[in-house]
Structure 1
């Protein structure tokens, strides 16, 4: 059940279950089922109907929305997306996140920070979650292109949405949802002023995409290039903790 407190002392209740389908995806799945049934029942075109029926199952699977167990550490930054870590590096934050908006006066500044890029394939869960708990200070949507989200230039050219969150201690963190090659819409669930818990659902990106996370100054990542992460569960970093880590691909 959602909201159960699970820990390493056996408290709580956990069981496997089919993940729910997010309402945003039900209309697409039902439409695909409807079209496939028309070809199968009305036209008897099995060569078209059966592939469309299989495609409809894929659509439902794409919009699956599984429950996640969020680590409850005060300074944990959890992954906002399922996917593959494809880039880790020092970059200047996007201008939309640097603090140029006079309405809130809050931003990341112009100094380089560590950016972690997570690439989502069409097989990944596309529900995005809040990396930290806090107040949403800024949501900025920018129209753009639909190039391969795995390319570095996607952060500046593709359709994208920036989200800036301020924690109760004043620490500011941001992430960016980036549309991919076949993505055609970023769907937000939040707005400025909303108060979030870490791991709370904040939006989704349709059909392949990328999410960039901008860590606060003085914070090093606890993940590596090539590592797969799970939204709301994998710890990307711990605020204020530094130190390089290494891993071996096997």
Structure 2
């Protein structure tokens, strides 16, 4: 009787514990509310809000495939002194991928911009020209102040592929740009290290631009503190009927 009573008591206790556990309801966690990507139209088309922030981001890019034909064309793409002559093929294919990230947000000091763009170049998987990666631009801009690696105002030239108003136009620079709509003015301090044959090269560049209707005028000047030499350029552009007339003059 004692053993039977103990067994019955144990069974009752186990039943009570099981009943207590069964009484606790299993509550599934509610899913987090989904945050859809919102369009940001404050800075133009193509921007969207980064989820959880008030920063707007635009991602853009392109793919370029190029074919060239001519005597020893594949070898002409690269400098033979640097690459030792790669091929005597009379045709050559070249591909490029370009991607850019442009992030903007409003601050009490103006628009804060972070911009990065890179090129990925591919020629032939068996030579030194394959998979060359080039940082095209990388800079921070707050209002009119801009710092980083970006194109100088000398990069702006005549429409087309044959003009040569500047051959080295990208530097690590610090610049200030005033934009009054139809009138712009700016000044930049450029690092010429690696561009100038002298060490510690510093360049100073200034620009004044004006636009009235279909006519635009730029006056640009630069000075190399190491070489103690400078250059001045004027560029006039006017919309005439179906085309655009451009005239440039340079003193150096």
What's the TM-score, normalizing by structure 2?
0.25
Query: Which structure has the larger Rg?
Result: 2
Which structure has more RCO (C-alpha within 8 Å, separation ≥ 6)? 1
What's the TM-score, normalizing by structure 1?
0.25
Structure with the largest fraction of helix: 1
